[in-house]
Structure 1
Amino acid sequence: MLLWVLLLILGLLSRQAAIAKKSVVEPRPSWTPIFEGELVTLTCHGAGPFKPERAWWYKNQQLQEILPTNIIQTNQPGEYRCQTQGSTLSDPVNLVFSSDPLILQTQYSVFEGDTLVMRCRGKNTGTVKHMAYYKNERKLLDLITDFDKLLSVSQAGLNDNSKYHCARVVSSIWSTWREISKNVDIQVQELFVPPELKTTMSEPIEGTPMILSCETQLSPQRLDTKLHFSFIRDGTVITSGEKKSHVLQIPAIQTKDSGSYQCEAKAMTQNILKKSNYVKIGVKIPVSQPFFNFSAFRAQASVGDVVEFHCEVLRGSFPIQYQFYHENTILENKIAPSGGAASFNLTMTVGHSGNYFCRANNSFSYQFSKNLTLSISDPIRSQTNTAIMGITVALIIIFILTIVVLVVYFKLLRKSGRSSAPSPHRISSISNLQEPVYSNSSSQKELMPIYGNVNPVAENVVYSEVTSKEHGKEANNTKKLPEIKDSPVIYAEVKQKPQSRDSKKTNAADGRQNVAENYENAKLF
């Protein structure tokens, strides 16, 4: 930006320097046309102060001579130019000589704001009776006396460009006649060209510097003219008309500086005011950080839910483009031609969990929103997971209970094995007894099992009976107990003892009888 401004200023200075270096031809007398035979003095002015210096003279674009002085005299018509050392070629001066009896003379150059002066001049020496000046065949001035009076138009402007001529009535001793001059095209020259308003940029960004330049050019013959500049925004002058600088600097342009700009250049002495073209300046506003949200309650949604994503900036020149991101993937592009917010809907899947954000830009600036995290749940999968978890927990509980039961069972089994194991000293062979024998103890102590054969006669049948005796003592007296309903008698096993095939037939009947008797005896207890 600063480089561009520097180049702009240097360019303006170089253009002004180039203009200042152009040579100028000044004729004396400063009237045109002139009568044939009259002598005209031409002076070539270079870039510096008016002083004698070497000059190159051109007539009808042909180099005529190189003189050590900048002044020549001539009575020849033609287009004259000159150039001095250090200066460029001058604009032409056209010398016109006339043989007419009456001519209308004007200045060689008339600029805006100057006083336009014309004079009607004749050769004849008769007595002038009447004189008049005309503009486009319309009489401007009628003189019956004071015929040397000049026609003056003050504050000449471009609207004074017209055809002028004069006429007079002359008399002598012998006659009176009327003389009319040829038409002269008056071209009022611009003192300076209409200014052009230039800016470093037509759409500056808010907060950046901007320079406005009111550029114009003075005529090479009027480089000493003083110009003052004014800058106008939306019809209101924002700088003084006394400002001599043609540059307006705005250090940091703001939105309030937007508008339609124009500049004015005024030649204070000649009171010539010219306005530039209009330049529309729109200050571009960078986008602010966007606000981003979505419609999911507590940042959670389920598979199949439709979630609306919303992105909005509060400041920024439009159009504004919005981009919606999931992680680093663009989901949607939206454009707001007139500014405002943008939204879009998305049906959720399991893969849509993660971070979301949006980006806003307006071709020269951009901003990212803050990240928001969205969690997506799958009800079916959740139910399945819950069921699987429940089953797993149940299996674990069952497994634990099974282990506990097995442990308890084996403990009881081990304890039962220890309690039921027979001790050799506690077992008595009661082979001759027919009745169960009990141990009678006065104190209730732990009962130990006693095993015995009820009917040892039958060799193939064994009947085991469990009776109790006092722990740690042998029963001193054994006797046949009376029939007790709740007698603690346990039938452990009744089985047939293996025997030979020959003895089976002999003892079959006796065995069946003995078993029946034993069964009946056992029921008594």
Structure 2
Amino acid sequence: MLLWVLLLILGLLSRQAAIAKKSVVEPRPSWTPILEGEAVTLICHGVGPLKEERAWWYKNQQLRGILSTIIQTNHPGEYRCQTQGSTLSDPVNLVFSSELFSPPELKTTTSEPIEGTPVNLSCETQLSPQRLDTKLYFSFTRDGMVITSSGKNSHVLQIPTIQTKDSGSYRCEAKAVTQNILKQSNYVKISVKIPVSQPFFNLSAFRAQASVGDVVEFHCKVLRGSFPIQYQFYHENTILENKIALSGDAVSFNLTMTVGHSGNYFCKANNSFSYQLSKNLTLSISDPIRSQTNTNIMEITVALIIIFNLTIVVLVVYFKLLRKSGRSSTPNPYRVSSISDLQEPVYSNPSSQKELMPIYGNVNPVAENVVYSEVTSKEYGKEANNTKKLPEIEDSPVIYAEVKQKHQPRDSKKTNAADRRQDVAEN
């Protein structure tokens, strides 16, 4: 019985000795992954002093050689070791990576900003948890050209008012200066959108006037603005036509005029994020048939008014003559009997001794051979001793009028001489 107890104790001691003789691989640093370019120290712990012992090193189950119990490597793989008097160690996997920091990602507030608005670009990356104190420098490029950022260690690029020239492909870089590690981000394309300017609007009508049936061409164009641009043509507040422009050419459309097309016209330019209205143009549409009809009506109206006025005048003259004829049959002392006797006026009351000087002349001859003569009287000289006043003429100063035939003399010299003799005789 005692023998069996001794044997059991010896077996346990031998098993513990075997376990204690198993080698152990210790990596320094102990974390993984390890940055590329950095060396890792591997220590093989056995049963004897480290400096005095030598160890068998295995990589990926292949013997690398009999080396010191302390080695350095910068290659990934599975490492084992074994010292004299100990068994083979458990494997240790070495993983190398560039994860001092992750590859940066470029982000932007918008990839299609409107001209004049602010835009921010940020270079996003993450440091390794074991290297949070690493200093990173950031830079930004556009189409391969370096853009000055707000700070070398700032991961944000601010553009207060972006312009058309700022369009392009952007990229950022993150660099760890002490480790000399440089990483670049993805490309981000930024296209700056340009708001439309006020469109120019014109039409082919001459002096903004057209007639019914005319075909008028309308034009609309902007000088600045991102395409595509939608153009709309308006008559007052009604849309007449829609057009889409993919380039900088002006758009146009034709319209056949009717009377109802008189009024204000304008166009609108829209590129989905901005729009502008043109100035108004007024177009007057005339109807030749209606205009001619109106002209004819006006002419007839004027003629009727003239006839009416002439009728009124004739009636007034007629009633005046009728009124005169109804008075005393005694001849008017101031009425001259005939044109031939005008040089010797006769008065019914000779005591007044006032002479009347005949004045007559042609009044607006109408026909070629007809002369309208008007004879009036005019006082001259001083009154006689007889103080009796002449009766007032109630009506017109016209005393006598006669229509006579105007004869064309054959000999102008003879006619002129006869006229002079007649004038002398009358005076």
TM-score, normalising length from structure 1?
Answer: 0.53
Is the alpha carbon distance of 1:338 and 1:238 closer, same or farther for their aligned partners in structure 2, counting shifts above 3 Å? same
Q: Is the 8 A contact 1:133 1:151 kept in 2?
A: no
Deviations 1:186-243 (A, max 9, x none): 2537122222222222211111111111122222322111111101111111126970
The SS at the match of 2:68 is coil
Deviation at 1:357, TM superposition (A): 1.2
Is the alpha carbon distance of 1:283 and 1:444 closer, same or farther for their aligned partners in structure 2, counting shifts above 3 Å? closer
Match runs of 1:123-522 below 5 Å? 123=46, 134=59, 147-148=68-69, 150-153=71-74, 162-165=76-79, 182=91, 184-188=93-97, 190-239=99-148, 243-416=152-325, 421=329
Structure 1 range deviating more: 385-394 or 193-202: 193-202
CA RMSD, Structure 1 to Structure 2 (Å): 3.6
The structure whose RCO (Cα within 8 Å, separation 6+) is larger is 2
The SS at the match of 1:192 is coil
Is the alpha carbon distance of 1:133 and 1:233 closer, same or farther for their aligned partners in structure 2, counting shifts above 3 Å? farther
Q: Is the 8 A contact 1:112 1:270 kept in 2?
A: no
Q: Is the 8 A contact 1:113 1:272 kept in 2?
A: no
Letter of the structure 2 residue corresponding to residue 117 of structure 1: V
Deviation at 1:255, TM superposition (A): 0.5
Is the alpha carbon distance of 1:137 and 1:143 closer, same or farther for their aligned partners in structure 2, counting shifts above 3 Å? closer
Deviations 1:232-291 (A, max 9, x none): 111111126970111111111110001111111111111221222221111111111111
Is the alpha carbon distance of 1:222 and 1:298 closer, same or farther for their aligned partners in structure 2, counting shifts above 3 Å? same
The SS at the match of 1:289 is coil
Deviation at 1:414, TM superposition (A): 4.2
Please, which of 107, 126, 131 is the counterpart of residue 29 of structure 2?
Answer: 107
The SS at the match of 2:290 is helix
Q: Is the 8 A contact 2:150 2:158 kept in 1?
A: no
Distance in 2 (CA, whole Å) between partners of 1:99 and 1:344 is 98
Distance in 2 (CA, whole Å) between partners of 1:112 and 1:267 is 12
Q: Is the 8 A contact 1:120 1:166 kept in 2?
A: no
Distance in 1 (CA, whole Å) between partners of 2:141 and 2:21 is 54
Distance in 2 (CA, whole Å) between partners of 1:349 and 1:398 is 38
Distance in 1 (CA, whole Å) between partners of 2:21 and 2:145 is 57
Is the alpha carbon distance of 1:217 and 1:371 closer, same or farther for their aligned partners in structure 2, counting shifts above 3 Å? same
Q: Is the 8 A contact 2:53 2:68 kept in 1?
A: yes
Is the alpha carbon distance of 1:125 and 1:185 closer, same or farther for their aligned partners in structure 2, counting shifts above 3 Å? same
Deviation at 1:413, TM superposition (A): 4.2
Letter of the structure 1 residue corresponding to residue 298 of structure 2: M
Distance in 2 (CA, whole Å) between partners of 1:204 and 1:407 is 88
Deviation at 1:317, TM superposition (A): 1.1
Q: Report the equivalent of 2:376.
A: none
Deviations 1:80-134 (A, max 9, x none): xxxxxxxxxxxxxxxxx99744647353224435613142525265997886664
Deviation at 1:314, TM superposition (A): 0.6
Distance in 2 (CA, whole Å) between partners of 1:188 and 1:281 is 32
Number of matched pairs? 316
Q: Is the 8 A contact 1:113 1:270 kept in 2?
A: no
**Unaligned runs of at least 5 residues, structure 2:** 1-15, 332-343, 349-427
Letter of the structure 2 residue corresponding to residue 337 of structure 1: L
Is the alpha carbon distance of 1:171 and 1:218 closer, same or farther for their aligned partners in structure 2, counting shifts above 3 Å? closer
TM-score, normalising length from structure 2?
Answer: 0.64
Is the alpha carbon distance of 1:369 and 1:193 closer, same or farther for their aligned partners in structure 2, counting shifts above 3 Å? same
Letter of the structure 2 residue corresponding to residue 152 of structure 1: T
Q: Is the 8 A contact 1:218 1:225 kept in 2?
A: yes
Letter of the structure 1 residue corresponding to residue 72 of structure 2: L
Deviation at 1:396, TM superposition (A): 1.3
Percentage of pairs with the same residue:
66
Q: Is the 8 A contact 1:164 1:186 kept in 2?
A: no
